[in-house]
Amino acid sequence: MAFTARTLTSAVVVMIAFAGATPAAESARDLAREGKKKLPRLFIEAVSAASESTVRIQCDGKDAVFGTVVSADGLILTKGSELRGDVSCVLRDGSAYDAKRIGYDKESDLALIKIDAEGLVPVKFSNVKAQVGDWVAATGYTSDPVAVGVVSVKARKLYGEQAVIENANKGYLGIGLKDTEDSEGVLVTEVMREAAAARAGMKVKDVILEVAGKTITDRQSLIEQLEKYRPDDSVKVKVHRGESEITLTVKLGSKGEIDRSSFQNSMGSQLSGRRTGFPFVIQHDTVLKPINCGGPLVDLDGNVLGINIARAGRVESWTIPCDVIKPILKTLREGKTTQTSK
């Protein structure tokens, strides 16, 4: 039987009503907590098909992320920025295979890898559009969901409120930004306290025009330029401020340099190293650990909505939707993208 929002709600009501038969001393809070514990069990049928297409990916023998099978002969999509060292895949039956990197799409952070296996169950990407308030579940490679929650924001393009947060080995400015209407530079919307940009004297409303002599046309070009540098590298950043153009010397920091608000947002949470710069994402509130990214997200009817790509905040996890994944996968299959993740 396929789950629906109505059957889920009814099941929760039944659980609470049944729990109401307990002694009067049982508080409403205790009942709600018990219902919450049982809630993931309601998603077992919903994740059953997609879990058959989910594998555990290990790097140098340690769990790193999940992967989503996209062909019967061993092609797998996963979160590319987490791939390091020797990569292997563990299937649901416990068998393990060495994996070869095929390609990497930087903007989406999706990597295509290949294992020498046959008879795998490829995922079925759906055309269903996630709606705000929909119940969703993140699949693992067992019969149980690894996390459940609801869609909190419909699919959208990410902008610079957490801009340029990358892996720990990448240079970090510590700014929020957005594209300008005329595609001449990017507008600084936030400067994080004590971060690299703040130390160099960058200000809100500055427009970044160049980094190390490279013209910046949009936020993606800024991210790509900064990826060439590491923490403690010094770069010249030309900005437009008021009626003048000035050049700042910025000693880049690391992603560990976060202001108080960012710290509070991460309290009690493990966040993904790469958690911004994606083309489009579905935002949901599942408590998804970074090592559980890379697998499918499904709705109550088992429709695959996309691939989980990042734990972005205390109550924010992000999924690349299917309509974005499909052309990326086609490009990677055709070998048109040659850049591979490290």
CATH, residue 219: 2.30.42.10
Q: Report the DSSP pairing between strands 234-241 and 214-215.
A: unpaired
Residue 213 placed within a domain: yes
- Boundary residue ending a domain (251, 268, 291): 251
CA angle, residues 149, 75, 78, in degrees to nearest 5: 35
Residue 77 placed within a domain: no
CA 4 to chain centre: 26
Helices (H) and strands (E) in the chain, counts: 7, 18
pLDDT at res. 179 = 84
Contact call for residues 236 and 254 (beta carbons, < 8 A): no
Residue 207 placed within a domain: yes
What is the tally of structural domains in the chain? Answer: 2
Residue 198 placed within a domain: yes
Q: Give the torsion through C-alpha atoms of 38, 42, 46, 48, to 10 deg.
A: 70
Q: Which two tokens stand for residue 249?
A: 């010397």
Confidence of residue 231 (pLDDT cuts 50, 70, 90): confident
Question: Tens digits of per-residue pLDDT, 183-215?
Answer: 789 999 888 877 899 999 999 999 999 999 999
- Boundary residue ending a domain (202, 234, 251): 251
pLDDT at res. 158 = 64
Tokens 């990497």 found at: 104
Residue 211 placed within a domain: yes
Look at residues 158, 318, 170, 179 and name the one whose alpha carbon lies nearest to residue 257: 170
Residue 25 placed within a domain: yes
Give 136 or 314, the one with higher predicted confidence: 136
Give 111 or 275, the one with higher predicted confidence: 111
Asked whether the predicted pLDDT for residue 261 surpasses 90, the reply is no
Residue 323 placed within a domain: no
Q: What is the DSSP string of 180-228?
A: -TTSSSEEEEEE-TTSHHHHHT--TT-EEEEETTEEP-SHHHHHHHHTT
Range of the domain at 180: 175-186+194-251
Question: Tens digits of per-residue pLDDT, 126-180?
Answer: 999 999 999 999 999 988 899 999 998 877 776 544 434 434 457 788 888 888 8
Query: What is the pTM (predicted TM-score) of this model?
Result: 0.63
What single DSSP character describes residue 232? T
Asked whether the predicted pLDDT for residue 2 surpasses 50, the reply is no
Look at residues 277, 323, 231, 254 and name the one whose alpha carbon lies nearest to residue 106: 277
Strand (E) or helix (H) holding 306: strand 304-313
Tokens 């629906």 found at: 4
Residue 108 placed within a domain: no
